[in-house]
Amino acid sequence: MGCCYSSENETTEQDPDERKPLIPHPNPVSKPPNGTDWITTNVPSARTDEQALLTSILHKTAQNIIDVSAADSVMMEQHEYMDKARQYSTKLAVLSNSLPQKKALALPSLTSQPHQVLASDLVPYSDVQQVSKIAAYAYSAISQIKVDAKEELVVQFAIP
């Protein structure tokens, strides 16, 4: 479990299915994205170093790539999805019950003379105006932050 405040050492009664991702890895190592077989099949033990190297590079690459084009074909059935959702929410409900209720933070003491503090002069209008202006500048600056797209997030491999 990777959520906040969870302890990492609760390995008892682990459901093996629990760690199965909702969307399975679209291209397991044994099946390359373009459908051709890896050269590992039926290669005699006298395989050259070069081939071995190539195979290992291919394996590594395949493990590092998420093939989004293949994701559609491995979509779950509706009922499977519902089952998973139910299973996860039951698990969460059980876990959240066992969490200690975090006590609301005690109120700080801001003053020992509340009446005096509350009765004192209001914040001058010019101060309020200044704060509003600064906030407006900050808002304007933040709204101008943009993502500068440099390259494609999804790349096409030129596989012949």
The residue ranges that bind other proteins (CB under 8 A) are: 104-115, 117-120, 122-125, 128
- Measure the CA–CA gap between 38 and 32, rounded to whole angstroms: 7
CA distance 87 to 18: 9
Q: Which helix (H) or strand (E) holds 127?
A: helix 125-143
Residue 128: is it exposed, middle or buried by C-beta count within 10 angstroms (0-12/13-18/19+)?
exposed
Residue number, 5 or 125, with CB nearest to other proteins? 125
Shortest Å, Cβ 139 to other proteins: 18
Give the closest residue to 32 by CA, choosing from 59, 71, 72: 59
Nearer CB in complex with other proteins: 100/108: 108
Min. distance of Cβ 129 from other proteins in angstroms?
9
The minimum distance between CB 141 and other proteins, in angstroms, equals 21
Which one, 34 or 129, has the nearer CB to other proteins? Answer: 129
Q: Quote the least distance from Cβ 126 to other proteins, whole Å.
A: 9
Write out the two tokens for 115.
């009446």
Q: Which is nearer to other proteins, 103 or 146 (CB)?
A: 103
Sequence-distant (≥ 6) Cβ neighbours of residue 43 within 8 angstroms: 51
